[in-house]
Structure 1
């Protein structure tokens, strides 16, 4: 590396050829994590964040590549060296080792903004049971595998010095990466390099072409930045590792050559090709001045492979040694330029020269302050298939990274096992012919052609389908999913509501919108059985037209309570269950809220709705609960600066009602020194979750004085009739499922059910969620609810059970006018999650989806009648039929003046475990409420972690078994 070609202190210089290739991939595949390098360190002591910040500042100052931005000017990619500044350190209190690892994987996949020079991120987790942890995420444009050694060494030296309050004592670097880039570009223009490119491209012509292995899907490979990938590790037995070194010495070959030969033979075994190319990723640090420098020097060098199966492994090693010597002498040739030269010689356009990669590396070892670093998976692949040999001391591990769109897990497993088995046999007897190791290869002449994507015709839709498409577009656009132009013209007849981002409550909104627009009464059960544009169109056509408003109901006497209200009244007789059947909503209000105006608004709304004026009594002669709606309405209280605000709020949210004498709702405006809260606490006997949203919207409207309220609807006018004939269908669907499945209880149940609750929550990582939705939603048409139920069942199955019943709520708002009614319309349905027979993830999702649709069809079957048939001898220590509950929800969008919703404290639940899947934008959070009387927090956390792990496994291996 001639010093005459070095820059002269400039801070804006041309990027290297390797950097340009990575930058192009980043630009054409925005948001990719393909070239993220996430390094995870488990420390053996508590991390001193101040010392770490000082150490990072030193490392960034020492290595310019870690503070370089990239900009395209006049068709040239330039690197701009920025001033030294340590990256901000995010410090997180750890909850568990598994959570830390999962969160580190997620953060390791977040994209970089190369234009801003943000190529290095740092996160610290403190307090993990296994010790503090550090995640360094660097973009590959600034580092290669070799760089991790000097980077971590410099970090350790600087950290030790910072703890002593000293400046690190290290030798200065003779050059920086920008110097190498200037030299690299200058060398690429020399006649010698140009001649070498032409010569080498001619040598590679005969062997070039796509290398396809047995099991290739046949789908065409995508650009490097867009590949979805996975990694699998195959440990090499210690006795084999030891003999690899001995065989290398006896054959006078490096371990790289030995592994290169083994990889060639394995590729022959699974492709049937004798002549092909493999891309070796090399360090390309040809000068001592580059030894300790952080930067991207790596290059891909095509190696010609020629396998004669009749010859021995030892002979293959000798041939591989000669080829490695020839090829590695060309490692200065920029890979992109070599690809261009080969394509030009072949007369083809832009096509890949290499689709199988190989790297032999010695990752950095541990340090006296941390364990050996782990490079986390990014969920991407750089080649169709890449073989990585990791050599750490005497330990050898084969890692296979592969494009999941091209190769299955099984194909990867076959390849990895064959490679390790081949090497095991070869080190025992290297003079045996390869055929004795490998057997007959498959006849893989080429992959099957990729199926052409099905092009759906957008038109013509029928008139009914056009109306249905307009409803889809109107509701989904309002929910955050937008359609171009007029919206409906982009939707085909088979467009699926859930694939487009819909959910059950949004479906009810859409059917209410259909009622308002067209005066038709639609059943959500019918729609959910076929949630497509065509399905909705058919439902619109078949629906009974009812253009008149529901008949007014006069408060002229007692009315029979619904089946659900009968049950809630009975449960209210049991003191230990009473708090669980209150439905408190606590919201914080904006600064400057007029308390008196708010009180008037709340009183106005509470007095309007007949359900909130209900009084319940037992008709002993008929042995049936009845109610009247002519009672006095509730009156809102204003409490200013109570002595103990949390205790006051808890009392407001948990004090039972006298359902015979009191209005079944209370409201309290709590005026604190720093904020105002509204506690709205109805009994579940008169409201459901949908009703709570109506009440908040109407209170806000009256307070703001900016709109009219819909006419109040009496719940009796829109009550859903029960259908006892559906009970038998439900019973048959659920028959045989265990009513008391094995759960990870830390304590036995008491004689009376405990309803006090606590919660834990976790977020599904972006990459896993994206792939999970692709499989579950896009391919199988499953809703978020179905996904949540599947994950819960799969996590519980790790405790031994294989068949679970999960209760879930159904809105029951199918009658005309029900969308605007305040009342208790919810019925409890049951979905079965059956893992018997070892289904794959896809099969399990389909089972749960189909069972949920059957539950929707039978939604008018009274839950109590189902319970009475299946579980007549239930005791008071547990919920009837099942201790498990699951639902999905959207993050609430509160109207002004409300600013946020608060979780009630204390919290109560009706089941032993309740899972809620909460969607917020593109995020999905799982919240698990549990009974502390039965479960310790770490048990609940472990169950939730198992659900997150199940989501990851489903997303990565949808055809494997849970």
Structure 2
């Protein structure tokens, strides 16, 4: 992107696209309260008005959006930041609580004069029963839902300081709203955004017919403006709320996805429509610098809804998860541009793209000085209907806001009651078909008929039954993913049609396997599919999965149990002191906002005690010459460290101190309390966890901290471990034979007698445009995954540096193919090897095909024990280097962090197991290449040079795939 989000310090700037839409509605509706945000605070004490005035002055000075005026000049809406000033505070003697509330609602509906910059008002009621009360009314052009928490937090800090006669401590904000508005306008005009809008409009137009529910008194209007509205609350019963978190975990769905699915089902129930759009109101704060800002950032993201009444709620959730992930990746696209583009395609005068809005939010929390804030109704509506899900601690409430000119209170009540009943039924049995608790949809007058599938074309080469099912999965997922397959039906695909050649990528492959699970009740391993990503390959995988679907999970006691092949290796490596730190797997996270550290400690201890792997103790059976373990040892206990003298040294000690695997629990956890910050270090030994396990642990700790229902039942790793297959070793050895085991690398220093694992990292982004071109060739034409691309780029960069033309790269495989393995904590990873062979002067196309085919072979032989492969190919290695290859490569998607975690912190010091480790990390529409290097062997300059060579190779590949690497 050409636009840069940075501090500009300008007093006059264009309004953002979202602000312009609100301003236009305000101007055309004659002072409506549609976009007033009245927040009512019942104080627990008497308000010091002078301190309150000082606090408001500080907040307005700190956040420019609260002192900004709006003016139409030469056809452009401009915002001008005014000088700081204290908002006037009106003080009123209170009567009864009912009178105060009624007066607050009336004042909350009074209009603003945006031209004068009066976007904030304040009223105090003295002597209200239970103490004083405060009303803050802000115009939506200056705040969104996210803004309320920083507004109230800053107000509280400033008020406390004012009572003490002090100025509140506050860091200068890195950005102000006007900086965002300049960037937002530039982004909206960027060619890549324009292209993305046109592409997205193509995907939305067939879903964009007006959505009319039973009870609608008249058709939706052709324009937007002030709408009379009302709200009704539908509390979720406590016994249901307590189980929602467990339901989310069991369905592997976020709360947003869970509610999105429920809203779809309820809308289907009262509209009869199976395909329609819902507008999700999203925070749209994709840069960390925007998080503490007050301002209007939200965007409306159209979500495509597809409901089949024969699905279960669980099946609908899986579909909703795919759609939410896909659609929310487009949240940067301006809603107005999307609306215009879709209208151009459907040729209607109707301006609204969505008729029903959906918001999932956590309202601002209370404070020691006031009760939880209440956002008062304004008797207006922003959509025909809007469903708002509020989560306040363990309490859940559904609010339905409706346009009273279009819907009756009875119609609103039916929708809300259906949502409550649906969620109640879902937490009881998410596998029940929707038809059992939704009933038959009414015949809604004016409802457009649902689309019918196009007639099938005559088959030129009939597929088998299994292949037809696989082809239908291809078409469903690729079409839904916005990459239209060049066929009208599954019958037009041949048995050898390749998923990646048809436009798929690794994330869509995962979506397709989830769809297979939804349709056919089987869990498919990505490894199995990647081995043969064709219609025939998927058909074979479906058949095999169904054959083993009903096999019972074996019962496992606490042992002694034989260690796996990988655990045997890690136990041996733990005997080598110079390697021990590299086989610890620290995860360090900083928590967001105020943290209940005692609740966090309890949550961590609860999770550490649940998983059998984390209670393991290892010992060597000398007679059998084999390592065994038991899982009945006492669990680890979290330590809490308050303000260590040297936080960095303390964290380093936590993350690098070895374990006594025979006597200690193989995990430790420490909560470090710093000034205003809380850091959790979770440090297990690699012998009992892998990267997947680390995410499971973080998710469960977050759920336990939030008390989101019951945690998933723990799984013993021995019950789901995939058995190794020594018979596959020969195939692996034959595939790798002849490749150099010690390639010439650009070492700045020679290896020592013992391998050094101390490391550092450098990284670079490819850039969105370059990545797009790269994917067109590598993914679209050749069917290569991100992993294959990364491996080829690494090999090409090393070859250009004179390091030979043939390389072996180690990479991990999850090893979680068994039913139930997804939620297990354990060490399941096996090490595989891919060959990157540049001999014989191949073109880029030929090189990628070689790496792709070799990776498929590696997936096919993934059950071959790595130790046996090493012993056959490299029996005489010295202790100064890793076995078989010093090179490692992997690809991943940017991990999601559950609330309450804010961000990952890099372990310091860093240790690696190889000499060079490349990670290709998918971050939205960009790809980050991160290279970890052994500092005993390489200088930072050399590592940067290798990354630069990879970027240059990526440019050459995307520009001319027929050239030579």
What is the TM-score normalised by the length of structure 1?
A: 0.51
The Cα shift of 1:513 comes to 7.0
The change in CA–CA distance for 1:780 and 1:635 in structure 2 (over 3 A counts) is same
Whole-angstrom CA distance in 2 between matches of 1:604 and 1:458? 59
Q: Give the aligned partner of residue 639 of structure 1.
A: 641
The Cα shift of 1:555 comes to 2.5
Q: Is the 8 A contact 1:727 1:865 kept in 2?
A: yes
* Structure 2: segments with no counterpart, 5+ residues: 12-72, 80-181, 192-454
Q: Give the aligned partner of residue 704 of structure 2.
A: 702
Q: Following superposition of structure 1 onto structure 2, how do residues 744-823 of structure 1 map, counting pairs within 5 Å? A: 744-800=746-802, 801-823=804-826
Whole-angstrom CA distance in 2 between matches of 1:687 and 1:519? 28
Aligned to 2:944, which of 916, 941, 960? Answer: 941
Q: Give the aligned partner of residue 576 of structure 1.
A: 578
Whole-angstrom CA distance in 2 between matches of 1:628 and 1:513? 38
Q: Give the aligned partner of residue 559 of structure 2.
A: 557
Whole-angstrom CA distance in 2 between matches of 1:625 and 1:115? 58
The change in CA–CA distance for 1:712 and 1:672 in structure 2 (over 3 A counts) is same
Q: Give the aligned partner of residue 841 of structure 1.
A: 844
Q: Following superposition of structure 1 onto structure 2, how do residues 915-954 of structure 1 map, counting pairs within 5 Å? A: 915-954=918-957
Aligned to 1:867, which of 863, 870, 894? Answer: 870
Whole-angstrom CA distance in 2 between matches of 1:632 and 1:689? 24
- Answering whether residue 679 of structure 2 is matched by residue 677 of structure 1, we say yes
Whole-angstrom CA distance in 2 between matches of 1:499 and 1:793? 23
Q: Give the aligned partner of residue 655 of structure 1.
A: 657
The change in CA–CA distance for 1:862 and 1:492 in structure 2 (over 3 A counts) is farther
Q: Following superposition of structure 1 onto structure 2, how do residues 352-501 of structure 1 map, counting pairs within 5 Å? A: 464=466, 468=470, 481=481, 493=493, 498=500
Q: Is the 8 A contact 1:587 1:898 kept in 2?
A: yes
Match of 1:788, SS state, is helix
Whole-angstrom CA distance in 2 between matches of 1:856 and 1:850? 10
Q: Following superposition of structure 1 onto structure 2, how do residues 610-625 of structure 1 map, counting pairs within 5 Å? A: 610-625=612-627
Q: Following superposition of structure 1 onto structure 2, how do residues 506-521 of structure 1 map, counting pairs within 5 Å? A: 511=513, 514=516, 518-520=520-522
Worse-superposed segment, 792-801 or 587-596: 587-596
Whole-angstrom CA distance in 2 between matches of 1:701 and 1:81? 51
Match of 2:566, SS state, is helix
Match of 1:545, SS state, is helix
- Answering whether residue 689 of structure 2 is matched by residue 687 of structure 1, we say yes
The change in CA–CA distance for 1:946 and 1:529 in structure 2 (over 3 A counts) is same
The Cα shift of 1:960 comes to 0.6
The change in CA–CA distance for 1:818 and 1:765 in structure 2 (over 3 A counts) is same
Q: Is the 8 A contact 1:82 1:117 kept in 2?
A: no
Aligned to 1:902, which of 875, 893, 905? Answer: 905
Whole-angstrom CA distance in 2 between matches of 1:118 and 1:543? 47
Q: Give the aligned partner of residue 727 of structure 1.
A: 729
Deviation readout 1:36-73 (Å, 9 max, x if unpaired): 9x9xxxxxxxxxx99xx99x99xxxxxxxxxxxxxxxx
Q: Give the aligned partner of residue 171 of structure 1.
A: none
Whole-angstrom CA distance in 1 between matches of 2:746 and 2:812? 24
Q: Give the aligned partner of residue 380 of structure 1.
A: none
Whole-angstrom CA distance in 1 between matches of 2:630 and 2:472? 41
Deviation readout 1:172-195 (Å, 9 max, x if unpaired): xxxxxxxxxxxxxxxxxxxxxxxx
* Structure 1: segments with no counterpart, 5+ residues: 1-30, 39-48, 58-78, 86-109, 120-454
The Cα shift of 1:518 comes to 3.9
The Cα shift of 1:731 comes to 0.7
- Answering whether residue 879 of structure 2 is matched by residue 876 of structure 1, we say yes
The Cα shift of 1:465 comes to 6.1
Q: Aligned pair count? A: 533
The change in CA–CA distance for 1:744 and 1:522 in structure 2 (over 3 A counts) is same
Whole-angstrom CA distance in 1 between matches of 2:690 and 2:489? 36
Q: Is the 8 A contact 1:519 1:546 kept in 2?
A: no
Q: Is the 8 A contact 2:892 2:922 kept in 1?
A: yes
Whole-angstrom CA distance in 2 between matches of 1:491 and 1:597? 56
Q: Give the aligned partner of residue 290 of structure 2.
A: none
Match of 2:547, SS state, is coil
The Cα shift of 1:903 comes to 1.0
The change in CA–CA distance for 1:730 and 1:554 in structure 2 (over 3 A counts) is closer
- Answering whether residue 920 of structure 2 is matched by residue 912 of structure 1, we say no
Q: Is the 8 A contact 1:550 1:816 kept in 2?
A: no
Q: Is the 8 A contact 1:471 1:514 kept in 2?
A: yes
Match of 1:543, SS state, is helix
Q: Give the aligned partner of residue 826 of structure 1.
A: 829
Deviation readout 1:237-290 (Å, 9 max, x if unpaired): xxxxxxxxxxxxxxxxxxxxxxxxxxxxxxxxxxxxxxxxxxxxxxxxxxxxxx
Q: Is the 8 A contact 2:475 2:489 kept in 1?
A: no
- Answering whether residue 963 of structure 2 is matched by residue 960 of structure 1, we say yes
Q: Is the 8 A contact 2:481 2:508 kept in 1?
A: no
Whole-angstrom CA distance in 1 between matches of 2:763 and 2:665? 35
The change in CA–CA distance for 1:517 and 1:956 in structure 2 (over 3 A counts) is same
Q: Following superposition of structure 1 onto structure 2, how do residues 201-600 of structure 1 map, counting pairs within 5 Å? A: 464=466, 468=470, 481=481, 493=493, 498=500, 511=513, 514=516, 518-520=520-522, 522-532=524-534, 535-548=537-550, 550-600=552-602
The change in CA–CA distance for 1:728 and 1:552 in structure 2 (over 3 A counts) is closer
Report runs of 4+ in structure 1 exceeding 6 Å deviation.
79-85, 110-119, 455-463, 469-477, 482-485, 487-492, 499-503
